Amino acid sequence: MALLKINALEKHFRTPEGNLQNVLNIDSFSLDAEEQMALKGQSGSGKTTFLHLIAGIISPDSGTILLDGHPLHALSESHRDRLRACTIGYIFQTFNLLQGFTCLENVCLGMMFGSGLDKKKAAALLGEVGLGNYLQHRPSQLSVGQQQRVAIARALANQPKLVLADEPTGNLDPELAQDAMQLIRRLCDESGAALLLVSHDTELLGQFEHCQDLKDINIPQKETEA
């Protein structure tokens, strides 16, 4: 059963010259519940924009996005925020951890906008990603690989139905990237969350049974002058 269904999706941005540039023009896309899929695309191809649209961070100019049966494109901003908090876990390339908060607090903060604060659950999840002895450490006291593990734990804290991963290993060396990818896929598999990952790393993409090239589903239109 499809967890995510997209039809006739379009997104435009204004260029510095004031022209209207079509960034995304996707006729159809779907992702099943518990499915793990990778999307290939070079920098500037619209990968992050696509994830932001799915997460409801930005709105499409036209088209429909059905997430877990909810018409994301038609919801108010407050309803989109609530649906995102309860349904989606987001892993950023730059981690986006709050530097003034401990590891435990970073994971707990994500819970507060979704299923509700549960410190024991947050601590257990950090233990599961190998950071059980780092609950009170701040991000600046951790290695890059450890920071990514906190970000992964935060993304899974609300038991989301869908995890979106935007170049999640882009700041890691090959060995750490492999470890992080295995961890993300294992946790999604164990929790029953679907995974949609975007990357330009061919080695990472090769690990996915289901992999699509964004250029095969995205056919941007020509820039329109103002």
Domain 2-217 has CATH 3.40.50.300: yes
For the chain, domain boundaries = 2-217
**Cβ-contact 165, 195 below 8 angstroms:** yes
Q: What confidence score (pLDDT) does residue 44 get?
A: 79
Query: At residue 212, does pLDDT exceed 60?
Result: yes
Q: What confidence score (pLDDT) does residue 22 get?
A: 87
Q: What confidence score (pLDDT) does residue 42 get?
A: 82
Query: Of 48, 83, 91, which Cα lies nearest the Cα of 67?
Result: 83
**Residues 8-34: what's their mean pLDDT?**
91
**Residues 12-27: what's their mean pLDDT?**
87
**Cβ-contact 128, 184 below 8 angstroms:** no
pLDDT bracket for residue 88 (50, 70, 90): very high
Q: Which amino acid is at 131?
A: L
**Residues paired with 198 in a beta bridge:** 39, 166
